Amino acid sequence: MLGIINGEVYDPRNGINGEVRDIWIEGGKIVSAPAASPPELGGTEGGRDAAEIIDATGLVVMPGGVDIHSHIVGAKVNAGRKFRPEDHRDHVRSRTSLGPPFRGEVRGATRSGSGYTVPSTYMTGYLYAEMGYTTVMEAATAPLVARHTHEELEDTPILDKGVFITMGNNHFIMNCIRNGQREKARDYVAWLLEATKGYAIKIVNPGGVENWKWGRNVSELDDEVIGFGVTPRQIVTTLAWINDELGLPHVPHIHAINLGQSGNARTTVEMIEALEGRRAHFCHLQFLSYGGKPGKRLRSGAAEVARAVNEHPNITIDVGQIIFGPATTMTSDGPLQYRLHQLTGNKWLNDDVEGETGGGVVPMQYKRNNPFNAVQWLTGMELFLLIDDPWRVFLTTDHPNAGPFFYYPQVIKLLMDRDYRAEMLAGIHHRARKGALLAELDREYSLYEIAIITRAGTARALGLQNKGHLGVGADADVTIYAKLDDKEEMFARPRYVLKDGEVVVRDGRLVHERPGRTLYVTPPYDAGIEADLRTHFEECYTISFDNYPVAAEYLPHCEVVPCA
């Protein structure tokens, strides 16, 4: 047994707001307080006296961080690593020997790595853990290459992880919608999630990625997908219905249409309304909350979008906050990446995936003195400050699209410290600053709210019952911070991080490497669908139906998360 005693605990899921509490851990889980056994009674085995103690007096105790949207592994990320050696050269990590249980001067107890915006897998696991995060969701994988994603996840230590499976341009689903076969689409989605060992339905630019295979895109909810006669609206509403039918722990995770374009706030709000009350998550909403006229100067449309989010309790969002500096944009949104290549002149990687989706990668540099980037930055900030309910707005940088994940502490400081925010605002391009709503927003996040937007809220939105809180029965993923005035410094270097009850980080440095688990779902479906799928595979794929599913051997460390 392990006790974390006298800490200032922030556990929003259980309504604990900075009260001094003791947290007890056994068998990798949070347990109830053991009976005190004073020395005169001789102490009892397994009781409080026998416990190992972390004295957290004066320290802040939170559940381990839970990231709802980050691109850390898989085909796109690896393509980004492969074609960006310039990203890695100055950002390296040496292999090390660790303290116990590796004492004895054995080299190689942790692995080396490299990469800034696109770190290698081991390094990604270490860096997240060293920032106090213990669960991370990989935001997009094409089903056809899910096997690759799982191989990389197995090489990403410490973290628990899940994979979102892209379905918004899937031929089988679009055919079902055209033919009015919602139930067949539902069974297919369930089969696909099990076959790919996925966690959630991901929708990226519905219909637009398929149209990109013809050199086109979609720009309105009722535009037609070439060759299928369906619309983005139909794709999104059908998948939202399927999600509810299957009782998946998460909701459909939506990257809407017109990402990055002036005036996209309108279509974003239209898509929120199109769901007609069904639950959904809109990711990296900053990129989808711009005002102004299409093709004209970019303005923040955060107010319009935040109003819609505030009015629709069925919606959660993550921000995708811009971090000034280098980034690598990578998304299944193929036409967007071509546009970014045209816009920046930077090298461009494109990968269309048969019958399913597409994707692209383009390096990026966000600059304070670039009016476009400055508007993007303040749009994200405004979303954070204008959406009232912290349980529905989450901290992400859409890593590595808007910036690397290890800048989360900077974003926390921007949210908690309005003077720092004003200082940053003063440093951005004057044209973006002029008349910006952000200058008038003096809201400051509390530690309690930060705990919501970085763990409690994300865990709840993901349907992870055992994460994001410190109640009895929760996974013993705990982060302990020094209470510092400089919130960036506080959140960048936790004093302790525990994963499944074991100390993995001390004073911001990794001290113990262990594997994490891959979380996936197995919703039930009518096995009769397999006959249809065999025909579909023969007609549409270049691999056989039998070689498509990811076998259990690829997930030696895993956990099935139950559906409702």
Partner 1 sequence: MKIENVVCPFCGCLCDDIVVEVEDSRITAVKNACASGRSLFLNAHTQAVQPKVNGEEVDWPQAIDAAARILNDAASPLIYGLSSTASEAQRKAIALADLLGATIDSTSSVCHGPTTIGIQNQGEPTCTLGEVKHRADLLIFWGCNPAEAHQRHFSRYSALAKGKLTPNGRKDRTVVVVDVRPTASSRRADIFLQVRPGCDFEVLAALRALLKGQHLDVDEVGGVGVVQLQDLVERMKSCRFGMIFFGMGVTQTGGKHLNVAELLTLVAELNAYTRFTTMPMRGHGNVAGADSTLTWQTGYPFAVNFARGYPQYNPGEFTAVDVLARGEADAALIIASDPVAHFPRQAAQRLSQIPTIVLDPEINLTAQVARVMLPTAIYGVSAAGTAYRMDNVPLPLKKVVESPRPTDEQVLDWMIERVKTCLA
Q: Which positions lie near partner 1, rule CB under 8 A?
A: 73, 75, 78-79, 81-85, 87-89, 92-95, 104-108, 111-115, 118-122, 144-145, 147-148, 151-152, 155, 212-215, 338, 341, 347-355, 358, 361-362, 539-544, 546-547, 551
Q: Which is nearer to partner 1, 148 or 253 (CB)?
A: 148
- Taking the C-alpha atoms of residue 456 and residue 469, their distance in angstroms, rounded to an integer, is 6
Inter-CA distances, 128 with 70, 317, 437, 553, Å: 11, 21, 33, 26
Q: Which is nearer to partner 1, 101 or 435 (CB)?
A: 101
CB under 8 Å, gap of 24 or more: what pairs does 176-180 form?
176/238, 177/228, 177/230, 177/234, 177/235, 177/238, 178/228, 178/229, 178/230
Q: Which is nearer to partner 1, 6 or 114 (CB)?
A: 114
Residue 66 CB, shortest distance to partner 1, in Å, is 23
Residue 529 CB, shortest distance to partner 1, in Å, is 19
Residues linked to residue 9 through DSSP beta bridges, in sequence order: 19, 61
User: In one letter, which amino acid is 551?
Assistant: A
Q: Which is nearer to partner 1, 119 or 494 (CB)?
A: 119
Q: Which is nearer to partner 1, 314 or 350 (CB)?
A: 350
Contacts of 259 (CB under 8 A, 6+ apart): 205, 287, 288, 331, 333, 336
Residue 259 CB, shortest distance to partner 1, in Å, is 19
| Phi and psi torsions of 450, nearest 5° | -60, -40
- Taking the C-alpha atoms of residue 365 and residue 324, their distance in angstroms, rounded to an integer, is 7
Decide: 158 and 126 in contact? Cβ < 8 Å.
Answer: yes
Decide: 137 and 201 in contact? Cβ < 8 Å.
Answer: no
Decide: 94 and 71 in contact? Cβ < 8 Å.
Answer: no
Q: Which is nearer to partner 1, 83 or 241 (CB)?
A: 83
Q: Which is nearer to partner 1, 159 or 478 (CB)?
A: 159
State the distance between the two ends of the chain, measured CA to CA, in whole angstroms: 32
- Taking the C-alpha atoms of residue 250 and residue 519, their distance in angstroms, rounded to an integer, is 12
Q: Could you identify the residue written with the tokens 């579909």?
A: 536
Residue 340 CB, shortest distance to partner 1, in Å, is 11
Q: Which is nearer to partner 1, 47 or 515 (CB)?
A: 515
295: left (phi over 0), alpha (psi -120 to 50) or beta: left
Q: Which is nearer to partner 1, 25 or 362 (CB)?
A: 362
Residue 539 CB, shortest distance to partner 1, in Å, is 8
Helices (H), 71-221: 75-82, 85-88, 121-130, 146-154, 171-178, 182-196, 208-212
Residue 257 CB, shortest distance to partner 1, in Å, is 20
Q: Which is nearer to partner 1, 95 or 443 (CB)?
A: 95
Residue 308 CB, shortest distance to partner 1, in Å, is 35
- Taking the C-alpha atoms of residue 113 and residue 122, their distance in angstroms, rounded to an integer, is 7
Two tokens, residue 172? 């089988």
Residue 330 CB, shortest distance to partner 1, in Å, is 12
Residue 349 CB, shortest distance to partner 1, in Å, is 5
Q: Which is nearer to partner 1, 260 or 355 (CB)?
A: 355
Run of H or E including 560: strand 558-560
User: In one letter, which amino acid is 135?
Assistant: T
Closest CA to 399 of 164, 151, 124, 90: 124
Handedness of CA 120, 143, 397, 257 (dihedral sign): positive
Decide: 277 and 371 in contact? Cβ < 8 Å.
Answer: no
Two tokens, residue 152? 């990389």
Residue 543 CB, shortest distance to partner 1, in Å, is 5
- Taking the C-alpha atoms of residue 211 and residue 516, their distance in angstroms, rounded to an integer, is 38
Contacts of 513 (CB under 8 A, 6+ apart): 98, 109, 110, 126, 157, 158, 504
Residue 546 CB, shortest distance to partner 1, in Å, is 4
Q: Which is nearer to partner 1, 304 or 354 (CB)?
A: 354
Cis? peptide before 335, omega within 30° of 0? no
Q: Which is nearer to partner 1, 74 or 320 (CB)?
A: 74
Q: Which is nearer to partner 1, 46 or 108 (CB)?
A: 108
- Taking the C-alpha atoms of residue 508 and residue 462, their distance in angstroms, rounded to an integer, is 27
- Taking the C-alpha atoms of residue 394 and residue 450, their distance in angstroms, rounded to an integer, is 9
Residue 383 CB, shortest distance to partner 1, in Å, is 31
Residue 521 CB, shortest distance to partner 1, in Å, is 21
Residue 36 CB, shortest distance to partner 1, in Å, is 43
